[in-house]
Amino acid sequence: MGLGRNILLWASRNEWLKNWVPKKKFVQKAVKRFMPGETEEDVITATKELLRHNISTTLTHLGENMISLKEAEDNTNHYLNLLDKILNEKLDIEISLKLTQIGFDLSFDKTLEFFTKIALKAKEFNNNVFIDIEDTSYVDKTIGFYKKIKESYDNIGLCLQAYLYRTMDDLKSLVNIKPWIRLVKGAYKEHSSVAFPKLSKVNENYMLLSRFLLEQIKERGIRVAFGTHDLTIQEQVKKESEKIGLSKDKLEFQMLYGIKTDEQYRLASEGYKIRTLISYGEHWYPWYMRRLAERPANVGFVLKNIFNKSYN
């Protein structure tokens, strides 16, 4: 793992930087590339634009590791209101959230209570909810939570990370409950005892898991979203799915807002399902640092904004 990536991941957890960086105008300007705005209205406007290209969206309200149950409840209410707004707009928008946003660090039962409210409302509104996956210390607990919620709700998906050695076993333990899976490479700094340190190995594992998941789409009709901007992997997934006779509309890709936008348009025009995940909200700092860490070259965008600021 590169030094630049390590520094950015360290910066994502640093309390002092967390307070200082978001106040800087040049950073706010650079963030616009990955986030259309801080409010629901901003992301609904961005969704309308993407829908013109046959791209649906998933919305996630930023904020992690809530410190009180009151904040967890406020966040729950935020998602409940968001579901109302989505229904009013009649747009194809799903939601995705981190369990720590709704109290996972404090109480499993309370989180289940809050999540159930969201799942129930989503179900009533014919909508779906995905659970983001956080660092490895949460994986067991999150999978346990997912199995529990799936007993009552079928409109729920779970994100899993290809960089973890354990993910194939996790998938095998889940297939009987017909999970919905979003497969990603993984965004956190993990120790080599739990995760592949080399990107080439992560990619290999991503494809191994993808082949398994493609078979599951065919055999059990489960929903799988391939969450990656890696065009080589996307091509391989397309080829593997053709090999086993899956039609294009059975294949779903998910990508992040502002990353490889032209490729997102292209996938949609080729007939694949594509959904863009848009993050929004005031608490964007740790999330933004992880985006920079995924591609330290992105720091160039921030620097360019400092430069522009000095000369505008």
Ligand X SMILES: Cc1cc2nc3c(=O)[nH]c(=O)nc-3n(C[C@H](O)[C@H](O)[C@H](O)COP(=O)(O)OP(=O)(O)OC[C@H]3O[C@@H](n4cnc5c(N)ncnc54)[C@H](O)[C@@H]3O)c2cc1C
Query: 177: Cβ–Cβ under 8 A, 6 or more apart, which residues?
Result: 147, 150
φ and ψ of 184, to 5 deg: -125, 170
Does 255 participate in binding ligand X (rule CB under 6 A)? Answer: yes
* x/- letters, 52..81, toward ligand X (CB under 6 A): ------------------------------
Binding footprint of ligand X, residue count (CB under 6 A): 23
Q: Which is nearer to ligand X, 218 or 229 (CB)?
A: 229
Whether residue 290 lies in the annotated active site:
no
Whether residue 13 lies in the annotated active site:
no
Residues 123 and 98: beta-carbon distance below 8 Å: no
Q: Which is nearer to ligand X, 47 or 161 (CB)?
A: 161
Q: Which is nearer to ligand X, 114 or 206 (CB)?
A: 206
Nearest to 99 by CA among 112, 86, 81, 80: 112
Amino acid at 6: N
| Residue 86 Cβ vs ligand X, minimum distance, rounded to whole Å | 18
Q: How many residues does the chain have?
A: 312
| Residue 245 Cβ vs ligand X, minimum distance, rounded to whole Å | 26
Does 299 participate in binding ligand X (rule CB under 6 A)? Answer: no
Looking at the DSSP bridge assignments, the partners of residue 129 are 95, 156
Among 9, 86, 99, 187, binds ligand X (CB under 6 A): 187
Instruction: Compute the half-sphere exposure of residue 257: CA atoms within 13 Å on the CB side of its CA.
Output: 27
Give the span between the Cα atoms of 78 and 84, in whole angstroms: 10
* Three-state secondary structure readout of 66-111: CCCHHHHHHHHHHHHHHHHHHHHHCCCEEEEECHHHHCCCCCHHHH
Does 179 participate in binding ligand X (rule CB under 6 A)? Answer: no
Q: 214-253: which residues touch ligand X (CB under 6 A)? A: 227-230
Does 160 participate in binding ligand X (rule CB under 6 A)? Answer: no
Give the span between the Cα atoms of 167 and 171, in whole angstroms: 6
| Residue 88 Cβ vs ligand X, minimum distance, rounded to whole Å | 25
Does 188 participate in binding ligand X (rule CB under 6 A)? Answer: yes
Q: Which is nearer to ligand X, 188 or 272 (CB)?
A: 188
Q: Which is nearer to ligand X, 84 or 203 (CB)?
A: 203
Binding segment (CB under 6 A) for ligand X, from list 1-9, 190-198, 244-252, 288-296: 288-296
Does 281 participate in binding ligand X (rule CB under 6 A)? Answer: no
Tokens of 311: 């000369």
Give the span between the Cα atoms of 131 and 146, in whole angstroms: 8
* Catalytic choice (132, 170, 275, 291): 132
- 139-161 in b/e burial notation, b at 16+ Cβ within 10 A? beebbebbeebbeebebbbbbbb
Alpha helices in the chain (DSSP H): 3-13, 15-20, 25-31, 40-51, 69-89, 108-124, 139-150, 167-174, 199-220, 231-243, 261-269, 285-294, 299-311
Does 291 participate in binding ligand X (rule CB under 6 A)? Answer: yes
Q: Which is nearer to ligand X, 118 or 187 (CB)?
A: 187
Does 123 participate in binding ligand X (rule CB under 6 A)? Answer: no
| Residue 163 Cβ vs ligand X, minimum distance, rounded to whole Å | 8
Does 298 participate in binding ligand X (rule CB under 6 A)? Answer: yes
* Catalytic choice (170, 182, 275, 291): 182
| Residue 278 Cβ vs ligand X, minimum distance, rounded to whole Å | 10
Tokens of 148: 């529990």
Residues forming contacts to ligand X in the complex (CB under 6 A) are 132-133, 159, 161, 182, 184-188, 227-230, 254-256, 259, 277, 291, 294-295, 298
